[in-house]
Amino acid sequence: MNNSKKYFIHFFLITLGPLLGFNICQAQDWQFALKAGPQISGIAIKPGNDDDNKVGFFAGVCGSKSISENLNIQPEIQISFQGDEVDGLTYVNIPIVLEYFFTDQISVHAGLQAGILLAGEDNIEDFLKTADLGIPLGGEYQINDQFGVGLRYIFGVTNILDVDTEVDLFNRVFQIYATYNIN
């Protein structure tokens, strides 16, 4: 990992750490859950065709806090094994979504997701940007007080290629997941 990536990750963790610590101290207002599942990812090539998809996996934790009767804010942190059929990429993704509840069990969500590239196969990360930004859109069904299932599509909006070419690359990820509430 080059030095700029290390500094970016350290800065991010130093910034995020105190925020997480404060939120954990205020945990009586938050619901926490584990979230994991398979995902199908690819890299959109503009102009041109998309690369072949890759089946991967993601896992993480999320917190949810009510901000009105039917609306929650939900920050998450995930480790994500994505990329395409040729190039496997490992990201730490931090989605922050607003979740709207139609009922106690059914919700939809949308927001922003920051991604930090940790590694790639065959040193591909040397040609990619460290940071990625995407728009997550999805829905969730809460089976009972402990378990839920959901779908999410993350539409990458930043070019992840870090070399001068006429081609732009964008992450695309479709997730199917289960949640387990831990408090």
Provide the number of structural domains found in the chain. Answer: 1
> In this predicted structure, what is the pLDDT of residue 25?
47
> Kindly report the CA angle at 113 between 109 and 118, in degrees rounded to 5?
140
**Beta-strand relationship, 147-156 and 131-142:** antiparallel
93-144, pLDDT tens digit by residue? 999 999 999 999 999 999 999 999 999 888 888 899 999 999 999 999 999 9
**Euclidean distance between CA atoms 79 and 90, whole angstroms:** 7
Instruction: Identify the pLDDT of residue 38.
Output: 98
Q: Is the predicted pLDDT of residue 24 greater than 60, yes or no?
A: no
The CATH number assigned to the domain holding 41 equals 2.40.160.20
Q: What is the pLDDT of residues 54-105, one digit of tens each?
A: 899 999 999 999 999 999 999 999 999 998 877 889 999 999 999 999 999 9
pTM for the full predicted model: 0.82
Average pLDDT over residues 166-183: 93
Give me the domain span that covers residue 45.
3-181
Beta strands in 8-167 (DSSP E): 31-46, 54-66, 71-83, 88-101, 106-120, 131-142, 147-156
